[in-house]
Amino acid sequence: MDVVFARTLAAAIGPERVIAAVDSRSGRVAIHGWKTVLPITAVEAVQALEPYCSEFLYTHVDKEGLMQGTDMAAILAVRGATSRRLTAAGGITTRDEIESLHGHSIDAVVGMAIYTGQLSLDGLA
């Protein structure tokens, strides 16, 4: 994986100011609006980018917007690949998923479940 841009950006502004977004489709990193799939896994991308950022936003594209739950195993694999702060997105639908992610020190991005009313914000802190 070519990390020249990440290295250059981190050198210019400091890695503490960089959040790297890693999107995964079919087990591989997806770019260009999720249309181009690279021959690298999310875990490999996170490991390569970790020296150049302070945080990751990981989106599991396969589950995005489907209201069928997320892929916890994929998210936990990314969690295991980095000591950096991690926020996960893609299919997070229930309080149980949010609490499970929180238990692994992972923040959650929840969209469709809130928009559709499937997940209430009552009691969430």
The tally of domains found in the chain comes to 1
Asked whether residue 108 is domain-assigned, the answer is yes
- Supply the pLDDT for residue 32: 84
In this prediction the pTM is: 0.87
Asked whether residue 122 is domain-assigned, the answer is no
Asked whether residue 76 is domain-assigned, the answer is yes
In CATH, what number is assigned to the domain containing residue 100? Answer: 3.20.20.70
Asked whether residue 121 is domain-assigned, the answer is no
Of 17, 19, 5, nearest to 109 (Cα)? 19
Asked whether residue 9 is domain-assigned, the answer is yes
Of 17, 16, 22, nearest to 3 (Cα)? 22
Domain residues for the domain of 111 are: 4-115
53-96 per-position pLDDT tens digit: 999 999 988 766 556 678 899 999 999 999 999 999 988 888 89
